[in-house]
Chain A
Amino acid sequence: MTLWEFVGDRWSRLAIEAYQHASVVIQCTLIAAVIGILVGVAVYRSPLGSIVATALASTILTIPSFALLGLLIPVLGLGVAPTVTVLVLYALLPIVRNTIVGLGGVDAAVTDAARGIGMNRVAVLTRVELRLAWPAILAGMRVSTQMLMGIAAIAAYAKGPGLGTEIFSGLNRAGAANATNQALAGTIGVVVLALVIDGLYLIIARLTTSRGIRG
C-alpha cells in the first residue's frame, strides 16, 4: 500500500484526528493568550515584574516536553488534562514576552495624550495600548501556535487527542505493515495543518490591524 492509498483508506479517521489536533492547539493558544495578555498587562509597567514573568515563562520552555508530559500523568492522569496543561504552559512564553514588548513599545506621548484628554486607565489600556500592541501580541500567538503543533503530537504519549496518535502508533509498530505510512501520514498531516493555520494568521492579522499601524 502506498502512502496515498493509506491516506485514502484511513481518511475519515485521519480527518477526525487532524480536526482534534487543530482544535486542541487553537484552544490552548487562546487560553494561553488570555493568560499571557493578563500577565503581560499586569507586569509591563514594572521592569522587575517583566523580567520575572519572562524568566518564568522561559524556564517552562526549557523543560523537555516529553518529560513534562510524563511527570504530569501521575498528577493529572491521561488524556485531555495533561495535554492542555502542557500546551498552555509552552504557549505562554512568546505571548507574554510579545505582550510586554508590545505594550512597552507604545509611544509615551500617545498614552500621555490619551490620559490628558480624559481616558481612564482601562480605556487607555483597551482603546489605545492593546490596540497598538496587538500586532506584536498576534505575532507571539502565531509563534506559540507553530510550536504547539509539534508539541501536541507528543501529547499522544499521554493518550492526548490528535495526529500524534498515528505517529506513535506507527513508530511503535515499526516493521509491521503500513507502520511507516501511518507515522508519515501523521507527520505530514501536522506539517500541512501548521501551514494552513499559519496562513490563517496572516489573514487575521490583516483583518484585525488598523491600516494606520500596518507595517
Chain B
Amino acid sequence: MAEQSVAIELDEVTKRYPGQREPAVDGFTMSINPGEITIFVGPSGCGKTTTMRMINRLIEPTSGRITIGGEDTLSLNPDDLRRRVGYAIQQAGLFPHLTVAQNVGVVPGLLNWSKAKTTERVDEMLALVGLDPGEFAGRYPRQLSGGQQQRVGVARALAADPPVLLMDEPFGAVDPITRGNLQDELMRLQAELRKTIVFVTHDFNEAVKLGDRIAVLGDRSTILQYDTPEAILANPADDTVAGFVGAGASLKQLTLMRVRDVEMAQAVTATDDESPATVRQRLEAEGRRYALILDARRRPLRWVHFRQLSGSSMAGIGRPVGDQVSIQSTLQDALEAMLTEGGDAVVTGSRGEYVGTVQLDTVVTKIRELREEHAS
C-alpha cells in the first residue's frame, strides 16, 4: 500500500473571488519536493491557506494547473482526489458523534476497505501517533485533551496511507508545551514515513523547526522567498522576509546545526593517576591554562587550572564538568553549555566518552560562513 513519495507542481495557479478586484492568489508557481515537509508561512490573510486548499480542490482554482505525482488534479473527481490526500486542520475537526476508532476509520471506509483491514489499520495508526488503541479506540473526541484530539486528527489523515499530507495550522490551538511535543512527534513520523507534506503556519519558529523548505508568502500568496530554513535565516531575501524572520535569526540558525557539523577542538586531558607536575608540564607546552580530567573510561570529570597543580596528587582538585553536549546536540545546546560553564563545551560520544570540545570562536565562525555561503 505504501506509495512512493510524489512531487507536487503548482503552475500559475490563480484564485479570483467574484466581486473582488484583486485575486486572492495570483499566478502561484512552485515545485514541492517529494518526501519533504514544505512550509507555507506568512501573515494572516496572505492566501497561504487558500493556496493549500487548492491542492486538494477544497477551493477550485480559477486558472492554472496543479499536478500531484505528475497527475493533473483537475482531471480527477475531487472526492477521489481528497481520499488520496491526507488532510489535518486546526482544532482537528474530529467527528464528535464517532469514536476515535471510527474517526480514524472514515477514509478506509470511504475506500471500501474490509472491516478487518480497517480495524487493524486503525490500531496501527493510533499506536503510530502515540495513543494506546486499547485505551483510546472507544473514546469520543470530547473525552480527549486538545493534544490527543490533534494526534487523532493526524492519525485520521494518515489512515489510508496517502502519499501527500496537507496540514493547515494543525498545532495552532494547543498550548506551547503540547505544541512542541506534537512537532517532535511529527518529525519522528516523517523520518519514518517520508510523506510529501505541505504545512501552513504563521509561526516562523515552527516553520524553522519542521521545514525542509520554507516558502515565505506575502500578499496574494506571492512567494517572497522559497528556500531551506538555513538559507532564509542566513540571508532573508528582503526586508519583509527579514521582518518575518524576526530578531534572533542567528540564534535560530544554531538550532538547525549539530555539534557534529563543526570542527571540534581538543583539550589537554589527564587522569587522576598522573602526577600534577607532568600535567602542568603538558599545559605549559601547549600554552593552555586548563586541563580536563577523565576517568578510567575516558568520561569527563573536572576542569583543573594550572595554578591548582602544585600539590602532590590530582585527587579532588578542580571544578566538576557541569553541562556537556553530545555530537547530536544542536549548536544552541552547545552555546548554552558554554555560557553556563564559562568556557569551552565538552562533547561526549554515545557511551559518554570525551570526544572533544566546541569553542565559542568555532560557533561564531560557522555562523559567519553560513551567511557568506547564502549571500551569493
- Which positions in A face B, CB cutoff 8 Å? 107, 109-110, 112-120, 123, 128, 131-132, 210-213
From residue A212, how far is it (CB to closest CB) to chain B in Å? 3
Q: Which residue of A lies closest to B77 (CB)?
A: A120
The 10 closest A-B pairs by CB, nearest first: A113-B93, A212-B140, A118-B83, A116-B87, A210-B97, A118-B82, A109-B93, A109-B91, A120-B79, A212-B97
Report Cα–Cα, A211/B84, bound state, in Å: 30
Question: Given contacts A117-B157, A211-B140, is CB(A110)–CB(B83) below 8 Å?
Answer: no
The answer to whether B96 touches A212 (Cβ under 8 A) is yes
- Given A109-B91, A119-B110, are A212 and B142 neighbors across the interface (CB < 8 Å)? yes
Instruction: Report whether B97 and A131 are in contact in the complex, using a CB–CB cutoff of 8 Å.
Output: yes
Q: List 28 A-B contacts (CB under 8 A).
A: A107-B93, A109-B92, A110-B93, A110-B96, A112-B58, A112-B93, A113-B87, A113-B93, A113-B94, A113-B95, A114-B95, A116-B56, A116-B87, A116-B93, A117-B87, A117-B107, A117-B156, A119-B106, A123-B110, A128-B95, A128-B97, A210-B140, A212-B97, A212-B98, A212-B99, A212-B140, A212-B141, A212-B142
CA distance A120 to B83 in the complex (A): 10
Which of A112, A123, A128 lies at the interface centre, i.e. has the most chain B CB atoms within 10 A of its CB? A112
Q: How distant is B210 from chain A, measured CB to nearest CB, in Å?
A: 20
Taking the complex as formed, is B362 at the interface, i.e. its CB lies under 8 A from any CB of chain A?
no
Q: A109-B89, A110-B93, A212-B141 are in contact. Are A115 and B98 (CB under 8 A)?
A: no
B106 interface neighbour in A109, A117, A132, A210, Cβ under 8 Å = A117
Which residue of B has the minimal Cβ distance to A120?
B79
* Interchain nearest-CB distance for B311 vs A (Å): 71
Inside 8 A of A107's CB, which chain B residues have their CB? 91, 93, 96
B72 to chain A minimum Cβ distance, whole angstroms, is 18
Q: Which residues of B contact A211 (CB under 8 A)?
A: 140
Please tell me which one of the listed residues A110, A112, A118, A213 contacts residue B79 in the complex, with CB atoms under 8 A apart.
A118
B90 at the interface (CB under 8 A from A): yes
Query: Which of A114, A118, A120, A131 has the most CB atoms of chain B within a 10 A radius of its CB?
Result: A118
Bound Cα distance A106, B107 (Å): 20
Knowing A112-B58, A115-B58, A116-B58 are in contact, say whether A213-B97 is a contact too (CB < 8 A). Answer: yes
Residue of B nearest to A209 (CB): B97
Bound: A77/B99 CA distance, A = 52
Q: In the complex, which of the residues A110, A115, A120 contacts B95, with contact meaning CB atoms closer than 8 Å?
A: A110
Minimum distance in angstroms from B98 CB to a CB of chain A: 7
Cα of A131 to Cα of B157 in the assembled complex, Å? 22
CB distance from A89 to the nearest CB of B (A): 32
Chain A residue nearest to B80 (CB atoms) is: A118
> Once the chains bind, are B97 and A132 in contact (CB under 8 Å)?
yes
Among residues of B, the one whose C-beta sits closest to the C-beta of A111 is B93
A131 to B96, CA, bound (A): 10
Which residues from chain A contact B96 at a C-beta distance below 8 Å?
107, 110, 132, 210, 212-213
Show the binding face of B for A, using Cβ within 8 Å. 56, 58, 79-84, 86-87, 89-99, 106-107, 110, 140-142, 153, 156-157, 166
User: B140 contacts which chain A residues (CB < 8 A)?
Assistant: 210-212
Q: How far is the CB of A115 from chain B (nearest CB, A)?
A: 6
Chain B nearest CB, measured from A105 CB (Å): 12
- Which of B83, B84, B87, B92 has the most C-beta atoms of chain A within 10 angstroms of its own C-beta? B87
Kindly list chain A residues whose C-beta atoms are within 8 Å of the C-beta of B98: 210, 212
B99 vs chain A, min Cβ distance (A): 7
Tell whether A116 pairs with B99 under 8 Å between CB atoms, given A212-B141, A212-B142.
no
Q: What residues of chain A lie closer than 8 Å to B156, measured between beta carbons?
A: 117
The interface residues of chain B lying within 8 Å CB-to-CB of A128 are: 95, 97
Q: A110: which B residues are within 8 A, CB to CB?
A: 93-96
B82 touches A115 (CB 8 A): yes
Q: Measured between alpha carbons, how far is A116 from B54 in the docked complex, in Å?
A: 11
Tell me the smallest distance from the CB of B110 to a CB of chain A, in Å: 5
B99 neighbours in A (Cβ, 8 Å): 212
Given A107-B91, A113-B89, A118-B80, 19 more pairs with CB closer than 8 A: A109-B91, A110-B93, A110-B94, A112-B58, A113-B93, A113-B94, A114-B95, A116-B89, A116-B93, A117-B156, A117-B157, A118-B81, A118-B83, A210-B97, A211-B140, A212-B98, A212-B99, A212-B141, A213-B96
The interface residues of chain A lying within 8 Å CB-to-CB of B89 are: 109, 112-113, 116
Name the B residues within 8 Å of A113 (CB-CB). 87, 89, 92-95, 153
B288 to chain A, nearest CB (A): 61
CB distance from B280 to the nearest CB of A (A): 69
Known: A212-B98, A212-B99. A118 touches B110 (CB 8 A): yes
Tell me the minimal C-beta distance from B42 to chain A in angstroms.
20
Could you say which residues of chain B place their CB within 8 Å of the CB of A119? 79, 106, 110
Smallest Cβ distance from B172 to chain A, in angstroms?
12
B48 to A: closest C-beta gap in Å: 16
Q: Which residues of A contact B107 (CB under 8 A)?
A: 117-118
Alpha-carbon distance A120/B95, docked complex (angstroms): 15
Q: How far is the CA of A128 from the CA of B166 in the complex (A)?
A: 22
Alpha-carbon separation in the docked complex, A110 to B153 (Å): 11
CB distance from B154 to the nearest CB of A (A): 12
Nearest CB of chain B from residue A131's CB, rounded to whole Å = 5
